[in-house]
Structure 1
Amino acid sequence: MKQALKVLGLVLFMTMVSIGLIGCASDDESKQDEKPAQEQEQNQEEQGSGQDSNEAAFPVTITDDSGEEVVIEEEPERIVSVIPSATEIIFGLGLGDKVVGVTDNDNYPEEVKEIESVGGLELNVEKIISLEPDLVVADVNNGESISQLREQGIKVLVLGAQTLEETYKDILTAGKATGTTDHAEEVVASMKEDVESVKKVVQDIPEDERKTVWIEIGEELFTAGNGTFLNELVQTAGGVNIMSDQEGWPQVSEEEVIQSNPDVIFLTYASYVENAVQKVKNRDSWKDVTAIEEGQVYPLNSDITERPGPRITQGLTKIAEYLYPEKFNQE
């Protein structure tokens, strides 16, 4: 998710972190023959349009993650997403052709680079309104902009997942809001399969043999504690976060890390800090840390380990492969 180094950059980063198949099979022919001709024609039209066969009839009423009751009168045809995780959800539901606005921070899928931008951390509300969206998908931390848009009569669906379970819920909510319930259920089912596959591989690892992990989200030694996606992913992947006894995104001392002697080190900033992995390996005071001695320092792609969207379980799998390569047939 997002990529600024110094303390101010880390504060912005953590703000961003806190912010971002196929239809059902038809009945068999014998049942179809028993249906009135008019109903069969309606079913054929729905299948031909590519819509979900169990699409909820509009209007739909949804209580979003801001606690607001959102009534969507008709299936949205023009969607603006103001957080990368929401953009990935909307595209994951097969609605990319309906997206008319995204943010400067969006980078996946590739098509988003050709879509109109509505700002970055600071949204251009006037620009969003000018795009005449039927639906804006936002995050709980877009607070003021959400209020401004709603005051202008724009429908805003607010998401805000902080866990895997909440991510599933947000995807299903987005599916209901856009008439893609079937597709949303399939996406969630696939994600749950990813999670179960990882759990099955690591479940028999004894507690005293599980790898201990230091998660570094900045060279000033900010880390991910309890209540973060990274902590949940590391634990689900069979690892032990050495800072799981702390909440949120604490900054810790070098001595604390060295004393904890992690087996593995993950860096979330390596994509925008040159030679980040090598710099950590070259820390003289860390030379006796197990992860350094054994070369177990890895870059993590924050887009797939911190964005609460369909790819978050890919991030889980990657973490598990780094922790236990021998169990995941990795060299």
Structure 2
Amino acid sequence: MPVWILAWILLGAVTGCGRNAGPPGSFEQPGGERRPAAAPRRVVSLAPSITETLFALGMGDRVVGVTDFCRHPPEATALPKVGGYLNPSVEAVLRLRPDLVVVPAGTQHWQEMFSRFSLPVLEVDHRNLEGVFASFETLGRVFAAEERAREAAEALRARLDRAAERCRGRPRPRVLLAIDRTIEEDRLRDVYVAGDDGFLDQVIELAGGENAAKHLGVPFPVLSAEGILRIDPDVIVDLVGDMPAAATEREVILSGWKQVAEVKAVRTGRVYILSDVPVVPGPRTPLLVERLARCFHPEVEPPAAPEPPASP
């Protein structure tokens, strides 16, 4: 399973177990006290979605540390690393002398840990698109950049609306969005798919599809070949990460899907392998919606040219 999915599950990003971050513009201070603080100047981000959002809001010059998985924007890759999603190094964070640590929802243990060292912590909730927009407002207030944050949120919302408008009113294909899979001896098994998870379910809907696995009622169902046959989706999209996939990897994945030849999507040649697409909530989400829309509705004319991610 990709580490970002494991983190999503274990950190509570789909279970709603994260604590409320408090009023926008306030921090969780040691001892549980919330009080306004001056605009931070040395920030550590503990999630790729947070890092991307900070840079999109023009706060990249204040970010002094990120996780091992923060790969966008390119400037973030040169910043000091403080560990992974699930195991940030307290020592690495302390060495950077931050005046704010920004954490994802569901990380109460991190908040308590950093509070022991008198580090202010701000929690943002990127479980769904509503949370992404709310985080723009929160970060704008914290960094005294409300106008910039408002403009960035409006630009992101407008681009999502434009992407959705291209497919509005068209029949929605039933879509299986795969995020990980095991292929052994050309046999497909343990396929992780987007279920009732919030963010990816919303993305499928915006792109003009119907989530064929939503009814299973869990965030990331694990399906066997037989389970996929029972669902029988019209379209299968297999996300293989946010980095370009080698041709051999794509061939192996396609050969695995051919083992469920009775599935409608396979019979009709509507299995799509997508790599180098953003799979975390944030400013680049319109890119994912646009790529998925082209798979769901190939008859729709694509945009004349790719648009840059929403930014202030």
Shorter-chain TM-score: what band? 0.7 to 0.9
Larger Rg: 1
Of 215, 227, 231, which aligns to 2:177?
215
More helix by share: 1
CA distance in structure 2 between the partners assigned to 1:70 and 1:253 by the alignment: 47
Residues 1:285 and 2:259 are matched in the alignment: yes
TM-score, L = length of structure 2: 0.80
Q: 1:195 aligns with which of 118, 139, 160?
A: 160
SS at match of 2:35: strand
Alignment of 1:62-211 (within 5 A): 62=26, 70-120=34-84, 121-205=86-170, 209-211=171-173
Q: Secondary structure at the match of 1:80?
A: strand
- Aligned in 2, Cα 1:69/1:200: closer, same or farther, shift over 3 Å? farther
Deviation, 1:133, is 1.0
Please give the secondary structure, in 2, of the residue aligned with 1:221. strand
Q: Which deviations, in whole Å up to 9, do the C-alpha atoms of 1:23-77 show, x marking residues without a partner?
A: xxxxxxxxxxxxxxxxxxxxxxxxxxxxxxxxxxxxx74378xxx7743421111
Alignment of 1:19-58 (within 5 A): 19=11
TM-score (norm 1): 0.75
Partner SS state of residue 282, structure 1: helix
Name stretches of at least 5 consecutive residues in structure 2 with no aligned partner.
14-23, 182-189, 305-312
| AA matched with 2:128 | T
Could you tell me which residue of structure 1 aligns to residue 204 of structure 2? 234
**1:316 pairs with 2:284:** no
State percent identity of aligned pairs: 26
The size of the alignment, in residue pairs, is 276
Are the structure 2 counterparts of residues 280 and 61 from structure 1 closer, same or farther at C-alpha, using a change threshold of 3 Å?
Answer: closer
Give me the whole-angstrom Cα distance separating, in 2, the residues matched to 1:293 and 1:180.
Answer: 52
Amino acid at match of 1:112: A
**What secondary structure, in the 3-state scheme, does the structure 2 residue paired with 1:184 have?**
helix
8 A Cα contact 1:171 1:309, kept in partner: no
**Aligned counterpart in structure 1 of residue 5 of structure 2, from 14, 38, 46:** 14
**Contact 1:267–1:277 (CA<8 Å) still a contact in 2?**
no
Query: 1:123-161 CA distances to partner (integer Å, 9 max, x unpaired)?
Result: 111221221111111112433222111122111111122
Amino acid at match of 1:91: F
1:182 positional shift: 1.1
Alpha-carbon spacing, 1:180–1:216, altered in 2? closer, same or farther (3 Å): same
Deviation at 1:90, TM superposition (A): 0.7
Shift of 1:198: 2.5
Contact (CA 8 Å) 1:221, 1:253: kept in 2 or not? yes
Q: Which residue of 2 aligns with 1:328?
A: 301
Q: Displacement of 1:173 after TM fit?
A: 0.8
Whose strand proportion is higher, 1 or 2?
Answer: 2
- 1:225 matched to which residue of 2? 195
- 2:232 is matched with 261
The one-letter code matched in structure 1 to 2:301 is: F
2:103 aligned counterpart, secondary structure: strand
Is the Cα contact below 8 Å between 1:286 and 1:292 reproduced in 2? yes
In the TM superposition, residue 276 of structure 1 has moved relative to its aligned partner by: 4.5
Name structure 1 gaps, 5 residues minimum: 1-8, 21-59
